[in-house]
């Protein structure tokens, strides 16, 4: 049995509906579904993503190696896609995409590695200002401790 994607000779990793995809095409298929659920009108098919995907698996922001699935490393290293404009996307690791995705400030990707963006107060803060959260890609809460405290008081 081979991958269900055209011209792919790799062995299947996982089934999706009636199709069986290799690791690469399974991840790209999930990305394609995510793009279809986004706010952008442009839809990228699995074939289009396959064409523009960089086989070197290097994050376009931090230049580290990416992986297709967290079974083979850390969740923060999984390949994701980021919309920059209606027609422009790039592949990046989950860690970089998480930093960007929580901000409307394009400069957030340029902050130091020891800082994290808090989307609530819109300030880049030292990572020790965030609670630990092992369910998130970077292992830290989405908002800083101070904002979390304020939010909890409002409840």
Q: What local confidence, expressed as pLDDT, does residue 65 receive?
A: 93
Q: What is the DSSP letter of 78?
A: B
Pairs from 118-122 (Cβ < 8 Å, separation ≥ 24):
118/143, 118/144, 118/147, 119/143, 120/144, 120/147, 120/151, 121/146, 121/147
Mean pLDDT of the chain: 83
Q: What local confidence, expressed as pLDDT, does residue 45 receive?
A: 84
The per-residue pLDDT for range 33-50, each reduced to its tens digit, is 876 555 555 678 888 889
Q: What is the mean pLDDT of residues 23-32?
A: 91
Inter-CA distances, 37 with 32, 40, 42, 47, Å: 9, 8, 11, 17
pTM of the model: 0.66
The per-residue pLDDT for range 70-112, each reduced to its tens digit, is 899 988 899 988 776 666 778 888 888 876 655 656 666 667 7
Beta bridge mates, 20: 15
The per-residue pLDDT for range 104-154, each reduced to its tens digit, is 566 666 677 788 888 888 888 999 999 999 887 678 898 999 999 998 888
Residue 6 CB: number of other CB atoms within 10 A?
9
Q: Is-contact 57 67, C-beta < 8 A?
A: yes
The answer to whether domain 104-155 has CATH 3.40.50.11540 is: no
* Residue from 138, 58, 128 nearest 102 by CA: 138
Beta bridge mates, 80: 92
């Amino acid at each position: 049995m081979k991958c269900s994607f055209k011209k792919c000779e790799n062995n299947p990793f996982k089934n999706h509906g009636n199709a069986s995809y290799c690791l690469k095409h399974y991840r790209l298929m999930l990305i394609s579904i995510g793009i279809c659920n986004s706010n952008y009108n442009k839809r990228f098919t699995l074939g289009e993503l396959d064409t523009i995907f960089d086989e070197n698996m290097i994050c376009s922001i931090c230049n580290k190696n990416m992986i297709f699935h967290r079974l083979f490393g850390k969740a923060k290293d999984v390949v994701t896609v980021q919309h920059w404009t209606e027609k422009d996307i790039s592949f990046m690791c989950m860690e970089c995409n998480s930093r960007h995705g929580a901000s409307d400030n394009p400069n957030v990707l340029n902050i130091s590695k020891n800082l994290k963006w808090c989307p609530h107060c819109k300030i880049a803060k030292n990572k020790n200002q965030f609670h630990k959260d092992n369910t998130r890609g970077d292992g830290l809460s989405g908002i800083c401790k101070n904002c979390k405290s304020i939010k909890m008081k409002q409840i």
